[in-house]
Structure 1
């Protein structure tokens, strides 16, 4: 054995080299929660997303408020109009985007969610997807196998 406890002929790795080997490569943060398809799940989903995004960005980051507003609309629609027993909320933080999606089971031959005509100023409903559009930079609806509906939105944090 040579000096410093290393093998003969090899120098010990520097602290920087050691750190490079032990720090995992940067990867997107992501997570999911499955909730019963009932109105109380909207507040549970909001608390969950607030917690995970707060850990990612710090509690006061403006992206959190926008994401929570959009989630409230999408999750409320899934609970009110979806046919499944459960909904699933997912999030991914990648690059400069946070993508949030709400998945709900559909019924065979069910209809795809659609943006409605503009709501009357005094209407109590009908603004959900307009609000999602207002609080996000991108959003969409995707029909998945087994009649599952995915409504997603993206907010920029970078």
Structure 2
């Protein structure tokens, strides 16, 4: 995980949508990402899994009553897809947990993101928000 602030590559295409911090909002984030990638003529694997995990985490761990989360997709000239999920709960920054017990019911989401993404990280701000992002190499 890259926890330092990173320079966001210049996007040639951008899609952004605000969604309710509910399980339905997380499902809609995945659907919206798949639809947008289809419109752009790009494959939606593995981006749909990354979006599903990050949106689910925003709903589960980043929920603040009355506040939504934002999904942003950025495609760079070099073909890098950056997935960003922004919520308003900065007290809890995500970190992969390393090993997860086989019987555990949760804790694998960021391990999946780490396995599917070229790189990922978090950025705090502007207040009151944080963004968890993942980049997928040239798509």
TM-score bracket, shorter-length normalisation: 0.7 to 0.9
Quote the residue 2:20 is aligned against.
36
The one-character-per-residue Cα deviations of 1:80-131 (angstroms, maximum 9, x if unpaired) are 0113320000011112201010000026xx2322222311122210011100
Q: TM-score, normalised by structure 2?
A: 0.84
Quote the residue 2:73 is aligned against.
91
Query: What are structure 1's unaligned runs of at least 5 residues?
Result: 1-26
CA RMSD, Structure 1 to Structure 2 (Å): 1.5
Which residues of 2 match residues 56-75 of structure 1 at below 5 A?
56-58=40-42, 61=43, 64-75=44-55
| Structure with larger Rg | 1
Q: Secondary structure at the match of 2:127?
A: helix
After TM superposition, give the deviation of residue 143 of structure 1 in Å: 0.9
Quote the residue 1:6 is aligned against.
none
Q: Which has the higher contact order (CA 8 A, sep 6+)?
A: 2
Runs of 4+ in 1 over 6 A off after TM superposition: none
Quick check: 2:62–2:92 contact (8 Å CA) kept in 1? Answer: no
Q: Secondary structure at the match of 2:45?
A: helix
Higher helix share: 1
After TM superposition, give the deviation of residue 72 of structure 1 in Å: 0.8
